[in-house]
Amino acid sequence: MSITLVQGLMLALMAAICAIDKCTEAFFWFRPITTAFLTGVILGDVKLGLQCAAIAELAFTGLLTVGGTVPPDGLMAGIMTTVLAYLNPGLTPEAALSLAFPFALLMQWVGIIENTTFAGFMPIMEKQAYKADIKGLWRTLFTGVGITAIIYAIIVFLSTYAIQEPIRLFVENFPEWIVNGFTVAGGIMPAIGLAMLLRVMMTTENAPYLFIGFVVATFVEMGNVLPIAIVGAAIAYLGYLNAKKQAAQGGNEDDGI
Amino acid sequence: MTVSRNKLTKKDITDLAVLSIFEQCPFCYERMQAGGYTATLAPTLKKIYGDQTEELGNALGRNMTFFNTEPHMATFQQGLHAALEEAGEDRDVIMGIRDALFGPFAGLGDAVFWFTLLPVTATICCSLCSQGNVLGPILFLIIWFFLGIVPRIWLCHLGYNLGTSAVDVIRENAPAIAKAAGILGVLVVGALIPSYVGIAFNEELVLTGGVAVQAIFDSVIPNLLPLALVLFFYWLIKKKNIGSIQLIIAILIICIVASYFNIFAY
Strand intervals (E) in chain B: 200-201, 264-265
Q: Closest partner residue to A116 among B108, B149, B252, by Cβ?
A: B252
Question: What is the pLDDT confidence band of residue A256, given thresholds at 50, 70 and 90?
Answer: very low
What does the pLDDT read at residue A93?
84
**pLDDT tens-digit series, residues B247-261:** 888 888 888 888 888
CB B159 within 8 A of CB B74: no
Shortest Cα–Cα distance, B11 to chain A (Å): 19
Q: DSSP letters along chain A, please?
A: ----HHHHHHHHHHHHHHHHHHHHTSS-TTSHHHHHHHHHHHHT-HHHHHHHHHHHHHHHHT----TT--PSPHHHHHHHHHHHHHHSTT--HHHHHHHHHHHHHHHHHHHHHHHHHGGGHHHHHHHHHHTT-HHHHHHHHHHHHHHHHHHHHHHHHIIIII-HHHHHHHHHHS-HHHHHHHHHHHHHHHHHHHHHHHHHH--TTTHHHHHHHHHHHHHS--SSSHHHHHHHHHHHHHHHHHHHHHHHHHHHHHHH-
Is A218 in contact with B136 (Cβ distance < 8 A)?
no
**pLDDT tens-digit series, residues B189-215:** 888 888 888 777 776 677 666 677 777
Contacts of A243 by beta carbon, 8 Å cutoff, 6+ apart: B175, B176, B179, B180
Contacts of B246 by beta carbon, 8 Å cutoff, 6+ apart: none
What does the pLDDT read at residue A250?
66
Question: What is the pLDDT confidence band of residue B266, given thresholds at 50, 70 and 90?
Answer: low
Q: B156 to chain A: which residues are within 8 Å by CB?
A: none
| Rounded (10°) CA dihedral B104, B106, B111, B115 | -160
| Section B79-107 average pLDDT | 90
Cβ-based contacts under 8 A for chains A and B? 415
| Section A178-201 average pLDDT | 82
Question: What is the pLDDT confidence band of residue B12, given thresholds at 50, 70 and 90?
Answer: very high
B191 interface with A at CB cutoff 8 Å? yes
CB B185 within 8 A of CB B96: yes
Contacts of B150 by beta carbon, 8 Å cutoff, 6+ apart: none
Report the percentage of chain A scoring pLDDT > 70. Answer: 92
What does the pLDDT read at residue A33?
93
What does the pLDDT read at residue B174?
81
Is A64 in contact with B145 (Cβ distance < 8 A)?
no
| Least confident range of A68-72, A82-86, A102-106, A222-226 | A68-72
Contacts of B16 by beta carbon, 8 Å cutoff, 6+ apart: B40, B41, B43, B44, B75, B78, B79, B82, B156
Q: Which residue of B has its CA nearest to A115?
A: B28
CB A174 within 8 A of CB B152: no
Compute how many other C-beta atoms are within 10 angstroms of the C-beta atom of residue A145.
21
* CA gap B209, A133 in Å, rounded: 60
What does the pLDDT read at residue A108?
85
**pLDDT tens-digit series, residues A41-71:** 999 999 999 999 988 888 777 544 444 444 5
What does the pLDDT read at residue A67?
42
**pLDDT tens-digit series, residues A7-31:** 999 999 999 999 999 999 999 999 9
What does the pLDDT read at residue A65?
43
| Residue B208, SS3 per DSSP | coil
Task: Provide the residue ranges of all domains of chain A, joining segments of one domain with +.
Answer: 5-197, 203-256
Is B26 in contact with A225 (Cβ distance < 8 A)?
no
What does the pLDDT read at residue B1?
59
Q: Which residue of B has its CA nearest to A70?
A: B29
Shortest Cα–Cα distance, A236 to chain B (Å): 4
| Section B227-239 average pLDDT | 89
CB B155 within 8 A of CB B18: no
Q: Which residue of B has its CA nearest to A118?
A: B28
**pLDDT tens-digit series, residues B138-195:** 999 999 999 999 999 999 999 999 999 988 888 888 888 888 888 888 998 888 888 8
Among candidate residues B9, B8, B13, the one with its CA nearest the CA of residue B153: B13
**pLDDT tens-digit series, residues A94-119:** 878 888 888 888 898 898 889 888 98
Residues β-bridged to residue B212:
B206
Is A28 in contact with B118 (Cβ distance < 8 A)?
yes
Q: Indicate whether A87 pLDDT > 80.
A: yes
Question: What is the pLDDT confidence band of residue B265, given thresholds at 50, 70 and 90?
Answer: low
Shortest Cα–Cα distance, B60 to chain A (Å): 5
Answer yes or no: is the ipTM higher than 0.90. Answer: no
* CA gap A30, A73 in Å, rounded: 9
Of B54, B117, B129, B201, which to mutate for an interface test with A (greatest number of A Cβ within 10 Å)?
Answer: B129
Question: Exposure string (b/e) for B163-179, b if CB count within 10 Å is 16 or more?
Answer: bbebbeebeebebbbbb
What does the pLDDT read at residue B135?
92
B249 interface with A at CB cutoff 8 Å? no
Q: Indicate whether B37 pLDDT > 90.
A: yes
